[in-house]
Amino acid sequence: MRPGTALIGGLVCLLACIWLGLSGLPAQAATTERIVVNRFSGVAIEGFDPVAYFVDGGAEQGTAQFEANLWGAVWRFRNDGNRAEFLSHPEIYGPQFGGYDPVDIARGVTIAGNPRFFVIAAQRLYLFSREDNRDAFTADPERFLYEVGKRWPALQDKLSQ
């Protein structure tokens, strides 16, 4: 064996182990887009069905069998009826502010919402980065939406198209 061969082999093995270990972690959402999507797959809101929040009252995972492409994102649904309803009224069923947390937007930053922390207020879906933000919004949505109204246009312009 040539000198250094064992060292190179060990480094290759170490890098492979790191890569395999990280590949099992959940993919991070891109926060430089107008719609929060998985940066590897392009799937919006972690594959949760946006219509299910309204129909089923909770966060339900969609499937690749029922997908639609809209606004540069892949949306997943539990069934064909939910997909059709979303495509008929995406402005109602899609998460407000592209899935960014409105409490964070009110503070002047864009942070991706977590589809598991949600509120439906005034027949619109809002996603939150943390439970605390969801609870604060629920206590006084008008205050946050007022602040978001002032900040969102400028923040949205900074997000890529």
Of the pLDDT bands very low, low, confident and very high (cuts 50, 70, 90), residue 158 is confident
Q: How many domains does the chain have?
A: 1
Indicate the range of 29-33, 58-62, 75-79, 106-110 predicted with least confidence.
29-33
C-alpha 26/C-alpha 34 separation (Å) is 21
* Average pLDDT across the chain, whole number: 85
Confidence (pTM): 0.79
Residue 23 lies in a domain: no
Average pLDDT on 75-94 reads: 97
**Structural domain range at position 114:** 29-158
Amino acid at 16: A
Which tops the pLDDT comparison, 13 or 124? 124
**Residue 39 in contact with residue 30, Cβ under 8 Å?**
yes
**Residue 66 in contact with residue 78, Cβ under 8 Å?**
yes
Residue 152 lies in a domain: yes
Indicate the range of 8-12, 68-72, 145-149 predicted with least confidence.
8-12
Describe the chain by its helix, strand, coil percentages, rounded to 5: 45, 25, 30
Residue 18 lies in a domain: no
Amino acid 15: pLDDT = 39
Residue 91 lies in a domain: yes
Residue 9 lies in a domain: no
